[in-house]
Structure 1
Amino acid sequence: MGTENQGTGRLRVAVAAPLSEENCARILELEPRIDLVVDHALLPPMRWPADFAGDPSWRRTPEQQRAFEAAIDSADALYGIPDVDPAALARAVRANPRLRWVHTMAAGGGGQVKAAELSTDELDRVLFTTSAGVHGAPLAEFAVLGVLAGAKGLPRLNRQQRDREWSGRWTMGQVSEQEVLVLGLGGIGRVVAQKLHALGATVIGTSRNNISVAGVAEVVHPDRLIDVAPAVDAVVNTLPGTSATEHLLDGRFFDALRPGASVVNVGRGTVIDEAALIDALRSGQVGFAALDVFEVEPLPADSPLWELDNVLVSPHTAALDAAEDRLIAELFAANATRLLDGRSLLNRVNTVEFY
């Protein structure tokens, strides 16, 4: 992996993703040693906060594209992957030998770096960081929503309201009496665990390391998922999409779950075998699923997940928060300070497993 900048000096940063004037000023306020190269006319308009790909109908003229690439090729660092396009990232790395750091807007930016198919030497030369941690609080709230919705029988309530059915009363589940399995104890998983613990749930977390986390009663290795599944009332995935996590939650896992358990996904869609989940939802083995991410996005119109009444479909929007752009800018400034001071960067992408 790359080496940090040694000593002091200045850092020329090309803004390759939409960044407001206010957040440009915030970055320079926090780290005055940055020389920010930004031309807002060369960046696509955002349709909502953190819309770093911007309006898909927007296009640069050939002259604008040359100016955009010239700015990128003059920089020591990039704020964002150009056009959120792995091919554009590969071009930038190869065209600019002085480039040494790229900050990705996504918490799971490692997948975008992997898709650029850079050589070992290129991955060695350039540092890559992600915005992990910025999205922890809003994703944790969605996770709590999913666990509560499963415990309180949201599908049944929706069905009865739709049918104008006033049924007999029934006992709802109590999160305070449940065991919840949280996959991954990184920036998102830790916040999820804290919030569920505050509601009285017993939280089991997964990690490949021997760690202790506040609010987590037990930490198990991912290899032991099948062992703990029978005692679990709900599962929350916060893991990134890597070769090691692909289809970690498969038919074998769902079969082992306590019948009627809830499944919440705020990590990456590829962690769940969707075909196996659909089977489990249809059989009732999984009672409810709250999904913000999917194996294929946008979720295809013919996916059964759209029509299953025990599924809550969220279009990858649970992380979106009005403060996200500012928080990413502040994280970038903090890492710029670290780079200039010769310290290790936060949220380094592992360029072996790309998370």
Structure 2
Amino acid sequence: MTKYILSTRPFRNEFIRQAKEIAPYEFVTATEIPTNFDWQSVEITIGWSKDWQDKLLIPTSSLKWVQSISAGVDTLPLELFAKHNVYLSNTSGLHATSITEHLLAILLMKTRGILDAIKNQEEQCWAEVPTIQNLQDLRILIVGTGKIGQELAKLLTFFQTKPIGINTNGRKIEHFAETYALVDLAYQAQKADVIINILPLTDDTYHLYDHDFFKTMKTTATFINVGRGPSVDTTALYQALRERQIGFAALDVFEEEPLPSEHPLWKLDNLLITPHFSGFTPHFQKAFMQIFLENLASFTTKGSLIKNVVNIRSGY
């Protein structure tokens, strides 16, 4: 019987050929599903579509493994995956370099006055030199010490900073000068000049950054979110920025995407908005397939995965 890998997106023939050399699966993309497609023969999916749920998450389904195309899996039907004993893996770490460079760009543009210069150029204004800061003088709090957080901390040490990390239990992580548990976030936020969120979305991190949190921050502090949009109470952040409770924010992810053109966030002069592209990665297919093919080989020979396995209970 033919077995299928069903993908939400196409991949180059060289990668499909490599997959077939590992295991004799037929590769089908979502845009090419035939009318008489045998859904009961799908064992693996690359990505996920809500339209597949009633076809693949049923007692007679053969689905065994979902390889997420993103690092975040909070939008997936995790409870149903658990119920049907479906393995789940993600792309954690694949975007680490891209997101780290995005964050460094924001930090340098802010500390060197480049953002102010762009605004002044639009107004054809030769303004006074803005306040310039060195990264090494800033207390930078990185909330999330996973692969992205570690890559950022490592590069920040090049600028002689001493990055502070926040993780679940405060365990020590390489490249961080200090690490604290998530329960210490509010206290550490009071002392931070920059707070960067890189956490996954879970029940514990939903609206973690709310009215009370922003009140703890310095009025000169910067808040950056490249984690998940719903970790931030958007209304609370808007009010904090509008009332100058905090100095500046940069958001790459939002509770509602795309961000509506009429949303009041667009009008704030102390906010940088980027359209969820911090993780865009050159040569994505090659990097993704390094994860997928290694897992495919393990899945085929051992019936288990060895890279980026998601704990469905915790959501990461």
| Fold-level similarity (TM above 0.5) | yes
Sort the Cα spacing of 1:38 and 1:236 in 2 relative to 1 into closer, same or farther, 3 A. same
1:118 paired residue number: 80
Q: Determine the C-alpha separation between the residues in 2 that align with 1:221 and 1:280.
A: 25
Structure 2 residue matching 1:73: 3-state secondary structure: helix
Structure 2 residue matching 1:94: 3-state secondary structure: coil
Contact 1:13 1:34 in 2 (8 A): no
1:298 aligns with 2:258: yes
Query: Which consecutive aligned stretches of 4+ in structure 1 deviate over 6 angstroms post-superposition?
Result: none
2:11 paired residue number: 19
2:36 paired residue number: 66
Q: Percent identity?
A: 27
2:64 paired residue number: 100
* Cα displacement (A) at 1:287: 2.1
Q: 2:246 aligns with which of 274, 280, 286?
A: 286
**What TM-score comes out, normalization by structure 2 length?**
0.90
Q: Determine the C-alpha separation between the residues in 1 that align with 2:106 and 2:45.
A: 36
Contact 2:252 2:274 in 1 (8 A): yes
1:167 aligns with 2:127: yes
| Count of residues in correspondence between the two structures | 313
Q: 1:223 aligns with which of 155, 160, 183?
A: 183
1:353 aligns with 2:314: yes
1:38 aligns with 2:27: yes
What is the aligned-residue RMSD (CA, Å)? 2.3
Contact 1:263 1:288 in 2 (8 A): yes
Which structure has more relative contact order (CA 8 Å, sep 6+)? It is 1
Q: 1:238 aligns with which of 184, 198, 204?
A: 198
Deviation digits for residues 291-315 of structure 1, max 9, x if unmatched? 1110111111221221212222111
Contact 1:138 1:320 in 2 (8 A): yes
**What TM-score comes out, normalization by structure 1 length?**
0.81
Structure 2 residue matching 1:247: 3-state secondary structure: coil
Sort the Cα spacing of 1:66 and 1:315 in 2 relative to 1 into closer, same or farther, 3 A. farther
Deviation digits for residues 203-234 of structure 1, max 9, x if unmatched? 11111134322221111111111111122111
Deviation digits for residues 124-175 of structure 1, max 9, x if unmatched? x211111111111101111112222332334432332222222333440111
Counterpart of 2:41, as a letter, is: S
Structure 1 residue matching 2:195: 3-state secondary structure: strand
1:249 aligns with 2:209: yes
Q: Determine the C-alpha separation between the residues in 2 that align with 1:98 and 1:282.
A: 52
Counterpart of 1:66, as a letter, is: N
Q: Determine the C-alpha separation between the residues in 1 that align with 2:130 and 2:7.
A: 55
After the TM superposition, which residues 122-137 of structure 1 pair with which residues of structure 2 at under 5 Å, given as runs? 122=84, 125-137=85-97
Contact 1:177 1:202 in 2 (8 A): no
Counterpart of 2:40, as a letter, is: D
- Structure 1 residue runs without a partner (length 5+): 1-10, 45-59
